[in-house]
Amino acid sequence: MVKKMFNRKSSIVIILTYITSLAFFPSIAVAYGLSMDWEKEIGGKMVERATAALPIAEGGFLLVGEKETEYMKGNGKKDVFVVKTNPSGDKMWEKYYGGYGDDIGTCVSPTLDGGFIIGGTSRSNWEDHRNAFVIKISSDGLLQWKRDYPPDDQEDSQNLTDDEIICIHEVNDGYVVLGNKKTTDHDGGDIFVIKTNSQGGVLWRKTLSSNVDEKAIDLLLMPDGGYFIVGSQFSSGNGYDVVLYKMNQQGTMEWSKSFGGIGWDIPSAVVQTKEGHYIISGKSSSRSDGVFGGYLAKIDSAGNLLWQRIFAPDEVTMITSVIPKKDGGFQTAGWIESEARYDLVIMETDSTGAIQSRATMHNDKWSSPFPLSPTGDSSYVIAGYSVEKPGWKYWIDKNEQAYIAKISVK
């Protein structure tokens, strides 16, 4: 059952109808279900976790995350862990980057020169808080440069705890970096945006502070050269709402808006449609029973809410990826909580978010709602980690390995 909201604030199960081709995704005539193309575990005796998987031009993937490094093999307690695979998920090379403390990769994007730009969070600074950082590597993993981004000089460093990078976009004259920072001067955190030159040098930095807890989930480049930021914002009495910010190319704020229901409305992804509108996905507890279900909202280019939907918890718990289709509908990917594991859910909807078909897949290795990314060939890649069942052996060996899987929509 789907609730439509306009107020403010192990097996494969298939429910199938005819599916038309996608606008930004290769065509699929009829979807009969989901199939596991392959799954791989990458790592050794230490702890390795993947936080993002990027499909790359030659057909493979770049896996980014964290690795507990062994003595004389790494730089510190944890290093940024980067693995390049072939199209079948087999490791081609593995690299570590970091200092003497904890360094964790949180996001990765391709660059025009064939390399990659990686963002993350670091405690290799003799301080109690984490600094944000960006590293640029070549296509074969050679480190080209690294930049740390400590707190703004005008801010009180005593009020800062952890900063991390959420996403990075290459633009004509450098990069646009989106991040989150947790603060102690008020309850919660703030969003920041950094514009850099081609070598990562800071041109300007803006902090979007509203004296309530805020967290960004994505930044999109606008046709006018500006930036569209989506996140969540705490609202007293209603939990969290979706928050939108529009900045111009110089970082000046043009407008901000928020919307939500009676519960928590937490976005996880945003995508632009062919008519210039935006679809935001995530999860929401703004149902009569207060239980989280998957969430979709459509807004126009000015941030005005056109419609929003909350799905029943037994349909989908959270939606983490949306692909627009030619007919105006959408293909969504997300998760449904199943005891101590999560099942993958792929749905087809019409232009208003109503479900037309739905398929699920179970895998005992999916212990968390791992990141999902469309690959461009009617499939998705999942990045995360594989862990042995807790017990005496786990606490001795702590055997966690980076995990990657490719799932096809048939």
- 65 and 12 in a common domain: no
CA distance 33 to 17: 11
Residue with tokens 């960004």: 216
- 401 and 312 in a common domain: no
Domain residue limits at 267:
1-32+260-369
> Taking the mean position of all CA atoms in its chain, how far away is CA 409?
21
Q: How many domains does the chain have?
A: 2
Segment 207-226, tens digit of pLDDT = 997 778 999 999 999 999 99
Tokens of 88: 């079948």
Tallying the residues shown for the chain, one arrives at 410
Please report the pLDDT score of residue 3 as a whole number: 41
- 144 and 40 in a common domain: yes
- 28 and 40 in a common domain: no
- 410 and 355 in a common domain: no
pLDDT tens for each residue of the chain, 410 residues long? 444 343 433 333 333 333 333 333 333 334 458 999 999 999 877 788 999 999 998 899 999 998 887 544 555 578 899 999 999 999 999 999 987 778 889 999 999 999 999 999 987 655 556 789 999 999 999 999 999 998 765 454 455 568 899 999 999 999 999 999 887 555 678 999 999 999 999 999 999 977 789 999 999 999 999 999 999 999 887 889 999 999 999 999 999 999 999 999 999 999 999 999 999 999 999 988 889 999 999 999 999 999 999 999 999 999 999 999 999 999 999 999 877 789 999 999 999 999 999 999 999 999 999 999 999 888 999 999 987 654 444 444 557 899 999 999 98
Is 86 part of any domain?
yes
Please report the pLDDT score of residue 75 as a whole number: 57
Tokens of 408: 């096809």
- 309 and 394 in a common domain: no
- 304 and 319 in a common domain: yes
- 104 and 13 in a common domain: no
Please report the pLDDT score of residue 1 as a whole number: 43
Pairing of strands 227-235, 239-247: antiparallel
CA distance 33 to 14: 6
Segment 217-251, tens digit of pLDDT = 999 999 999 999 999 999 887 889 999 999 999 99
Residue 135 and residue 145 in contact, taking contact as beta carbons nearer than 8 Å: yes
Is 186 part of any domain?
no
- 340 and 401 in a common domain: no
- 266 and 360 in a common domain: yes
- 407 and 332 in a common domain: no
- 88 and 52 in a common domain: yes
Residue with tokens 């896996």: 63
Is 349 part of any domain?
yes
Is 188 part of any domain?
no
Is 219 part of any domain?
no
Is 205 part of any domain?
no
Is 393 part of any domain?
yes
Is 226 part of any domain?
no
